[in-house]
Structure 1
Amino acid sequence: MIILLLMIVIFLSAVAQLYESRFTIAGFILISGCLAFVMMTGMTGDLEMISVMLFVAGVIFLVLELFVVGAVLGIVGALMVLASFLLVGEDISRMAVFLAVSLMLAVIEWVVLVKFFGKKIPLFKNVILTDSTSKEAGYSSHDDRSHFVGRVARTLTPLRPSGIITLDGKRIDAVSEGAFIEKDREVTIIFVEGTRVVVRAL
């Protein structure tokens, strides 16, 4: 029962610390719980070196996942950490039950933190782009030419149906409404969609 309580403390404090921007009491409890777990299982002779190696390697993989694209390292690291708990002692079925209970409580804690307290993982702010480049925010992938609609321009080249027009001394790629338009003719801009400018001969 002590081992089960220690595993629950480790998982719950790990989730709590994950949603904090700095080292808190949850991190202190996590480290203390891990040390107590190692000492307890070591004293009873249940701790195997393979468990320690899997746990350390899994944590390293989880840290590397923050800097490598893809989720392979994170998944492998999480599986290694879980396997390290399963291999403690000789009774794998008992440890599987302990692990299932600990994970279930950790998931419940995660849901409560996210759903009811609106918590977000601070570490993701540094590795995930959250800025929006929408039109409402003032960003545009091209020059906004919607204000050209209704303006009168002059063809610099024949439009067959595409060509170049000039407006206020600027050269603009344009497309005629359908018919051929000769060079040096006045045209009115009737439609603008992105960089596509549609004109009609006056």
Structure 2
Amino acid sequence: MTSGYEYIFAYFQSNLNLGIVSSQSMSSIGEFITTPLVTLILTCIIFLGALYQLYSERINFAGILSFICTLIFFIGYVLIDEISLISVLLFGIGALLVIIELFVIGAVLGILGFIAIIGSFVLVGENILTMGMIIAVALILTTIEWVILVKGFNRKIPFFDKVILRDSTNKESGYTSHDDRSHLIGKLCTTYTALRPSGIILVDDERIDAVSDGSFIQKDKQVKIVQVEGTRVVVREI
């Protein structure tokens, strides 16, 4: 008869064998993910998808696919035990700097974050030269995509439109940094105070600072507005 000890031993041996097979399967998956071709495809999708998402108003398929490929990329190197702590730290720091850049005007943090992310990809495996070439190809394709989005489709980063004033500040767009009084040119009005040469005039019951065109003008004299330059109103006695 088979004793209870033999049953227990057989049970643990069976689970140990399954664990070995499972570990070997995971290693095989990791080796497949980290092959140069698959790594190149994943890296290109990550960079291209991230850039497209950056220039999109909502989270879309490109952004989701980029995120999934990033997970697959790093999981592959975790499975073959080649990922380094510095690579993980660089990626985390880089991503954090890029996020901060979205809220802080300027480009320094964004550039540093981008460099850190690139460094994390280069240092993730043992073959730095191969990863460097893969990153170079991905960057070239991403640059082409950027040119198409910005130059071809005139895309802008929607998030920046919310935190940065992009409205036109010219007169044609209806913007003025002060009251526009150019419509007053030629209008007749009365001096509220004497102009020596500056003073106050009364235009339709509104008091406006003004200067004479050079001569002294007494109070309660009728004058004509002959020039307006910003807030400077020039009048001449009639």
Range class of TM-score, shorter chain:
0.7 to 0.9
1:53, distance to aligned residue in structure 2 (A): 1.5
Larger Rg: 1 or 2? 2
Q: Indicate yes or no: 2:139 matched with 1:99.
A: no
1:154, distance to aligned residue in structure 2 (A): 2.7
Identity of aligned residues (%): 52
Please show how residues 107-186 of structure 1 align to structure 2 within 5 Å.
107-186=143-222
Alpha-carbon separation, structure 2, partners of 1:118 and 1:138:
23
Corresponding letter in the other structure for 1:145: R
Secondary structure of the corresponding residue to residue 209 of structure 2: strand
Secondary structure of the corresponding residue to residue 136 of structure 1: helix
Q: Indicate yes or no: 2:61 matched with 1:17.
A: no
Structure of greater relative contact order (alpha carbons < 8 Å, 6+ residues apart): 1
Q: Indicate yes or no: 2:92 matched with 1:40.
A: no
In the superposition, relative to structure 1, how do residues 115 and 150 fare at CA in structure 2: closer, same or farther (>3 Å)? closer
Question: Where is the helix percentage greater, Structure 1 or Structure 2?
Answer: 2
Secondary structure of the corresponding residue to residue 173 of structure 2: coil
Bigger CA drift: 89-98 or 48-57? Answer: 89-98
Secondary structure of the corresponding residue to residue 126 of structure 2: coil
RMSD over aligned CA atoms reads 2.1
Q: Indicate yes or no: 2:101 matched with 1:65.
A: yes
Equivalent residue number for residue 26 of structure 1: 62
| Cα deviations by residue, 1:86-112 (Å, 9 ceiling, x for unpaired) | 212233222221211111111112222
TM-score normalised by L of structure 2: 0.75
Q: Which runs of 5+ in 2 are unaligned?
A: 1-35
1:133, distance to aligned residue in structure 2 (A): 4.3
In the superposition, relative to structure 1, how do residues 138 and 117 fare at CA in structure 2: closer, same or farther (>3 Å)? closer
1:159, distance to aligned residue in structure 2 (A): 1.9
Alpha-carbon separation, structure 2, partners of 1:148 and 1:59:
56
Runs of 4+ in 1 over 6 A off after TM superposition: none
Q: Which runs of 5+ in 1 are unaligned?
A: none
Equivalent residue number for residue 25 of structure 2: none
Alpha-carbon separation, structure 2, partners of 1:35 and 1:145:
61
Secondary structure of the corresponding residue to residue 22 of structure 1: coil
In the superposition, relative to structure 1, how do residues 119 and 147 fare at CA in structure 2: closer, same or farther (>3 Å)? closer
Alpha-carbon separation, structure 1, partners of 2:204 and 2:112:
62
In the superposition, relative to structure 1, how do residues 91 and 122 fare at CA in structure 2: closer, same or farther (>3 Å)? same
Corresponding letter in the other structure for 2:44: I
Provide the aligned length of Structure 1 versus Structure 2: 202
TM-score normalised by L of structure 1: 0.87
Secondary structure of the corresponding residue to residue 158 of structure 2: coil
Alpha-carbon separation, structure 2, partners of 1:109 and 1:69:
24
Secondary structure of the corresponding residue to residue 227 of structure 2: strand
Equivalent residue number for residue 201 of structure 1: 237
